[in-house]
Amino acid sequence: MHLHILGICGTFMGGLALIARAAGHKVTGCDAGVYPPMSTQLTEQGISLIEGFGAEQLALKPDLFVIGNVVSRGNPLMEAILNSGARYISGPQWLGDSILPQAHVLAVAGTHGKTTTSSMLAWILEQAGLKPNFLIGGVAPDLKVSARYQPDVRPFVIEADEYDTAFFDKRSKFVHYRPRTAILNNLEYDHADIFPDLAAIETQFHHLVRTIPSEGCIVLPTRSEALERVLARGNWSRTVRFGAGGTWQAGPADEEGAFTVLRDGHDVGTVRWTLGGEHNRMNALAALAAAEDIGVPAADGVAALSRFAGVKRRMEVRGTVNGVTVYDDFAHHPTAIATTVAGLRRQVGAARILAVLEPRSNTMKLGTMAARLPQALAGADLVFCFGAHEGKHALGWNPGEVLAPLGARASSYDDLDALVRAVSQAARPGDHILVMSNGGFGGVHGKLLDALARPH
């Protein structure tokens, strides 16, 4: 079958394309902005890419057009598909219908930590010899790729996103995956562009719960009012809880980040790694619980996590120049920002943290949670925000007013070069520059490292 994928360079759709190719399909695709690294992965697998969404692509006459959620009405190719009567389907539904029915799907859902927890879980299963298939929204150095598919392998780890499926399917993506094991890691309000409130997201999570078989398993934290409300609507599956008072608990971390894992109060081993933060310990417990559900003993899971190297764009060190270290992190929700800053603070002690933030997600641009930013960034010594109330990088809120509680510690910039100059001039040996964005941020990491290398 020939599949033509619209929006192929996104992490999810690109991974889906690699899976489709591995399943034996002919795959082509298009996107606005065909660029590495995803374009390189795709072309290496013999997938032809087309720049843009021109209606002339209808002449390719694929058996099926697979639509990503970046595509909306008015897209020239989509309009041509609709007018011609050609067959089309969303990416998540194609995956759910064509790839996942025979799999033991292990889905990782939640507002935060999906990529990291999915990577941990896939790594544990890999180390246990299960060689899982997976589709993850990031790249763990241990796994080397974001997607893998072998038709004869049953375990399939998938990052289960609550964002809507496509312009013609407003259900969350994860309702198409039908997991047997589901991690519900946490639940907060997010995606203000499509959800009016937290209750609307809870409804989508309950739609997911309704698809989990009675012989399946739900893994969730002990302290989440929102998730408890989700299960109160109806739950037909076994539940395993992690965190304080749960089946799976973590002891305090030592200075190097190592911590003891307790299962039903029994010590099952110590995870010895360099990842910091309470959030990563909770992610680890969720992954261990899900792995046990598919047959991996707790001690083996702990040993595997001790060999886990983390995930790109999660507190990833991009370089150190003249005693100043630059980090890259995907944090973009106030809770994730606060957690990331706190994690770095525990790591560097009294050293200065210069937080560089790009409020890029639709939720943050709208300003729905902007008022929470001062508190989220309070642990940083200096804050540099990219975006302004007016101009080229306009936000739906005034960063000067929102960040005013931070006083002279905070400043905002509408010009990337000006921001780079300001950060590099403020930095001094021993500082830690924490860059937070869910996008490429104009290559700011490299620009900062170059600027730091030049004498002021």
Which residue type sits at 350? A
Does the annotation list 111 as a binding residue? Answer: yes
| 94 membership: H or E segment, kind and range | helix 91-98
Task: Give yes or no for a contact between 91 and 68, defined as CB atoms under 8 angstroms apart.
Answer: yes
61 has binding-site annotation: no
Question: Rounded to an integer, what distance in angstroms lies between the CA atom of residue 73 and that of residue 395?
Answer: 24
A 10 A CB-CB count for 131 gives 12
Question: What Rg value do the Cα atoms of the chain yield, rounded?
Answer: 22
d(CA 34, CA 117): 28
115 is in an annotated binding site: yes
Find the helix or strand (DSSP H, E) in which 382 lies. strand 382-386
114 appears as a binding residue in the annotation: yes
Helix (H) or strand (E) holding 3: strand 2-6
**Strands laid side by side in the 316-321 sheet:** 316-321, 324-329, 432-436, 353-357, 382-386, 410-413
Q: At what angle do helices 298-305 and 114-127 cross, to 10 degrees?
A: 110
Is 113 assigned a ligand-binding role in the annotation? yes
Residue 110 labeled ligand binder = yes
Structure-block tokens of residue 99: 């790839």
Report d(CA 90, CA 390) in Å as an integer. Answer: 36
Residue 116 to residues 35, 82, 249, 275, 341, Cα–Cα distance (Å): 24, 38, 18, 11, 17
Does residue 325 have a known ligand-binding role?
A: no
- Compute the Cα dihedral for 319, 362, 115, 92 and give only its sign: negative
Residue numbering of the annotated binding site: 110-116
- Binding positions for ATP are 110-116
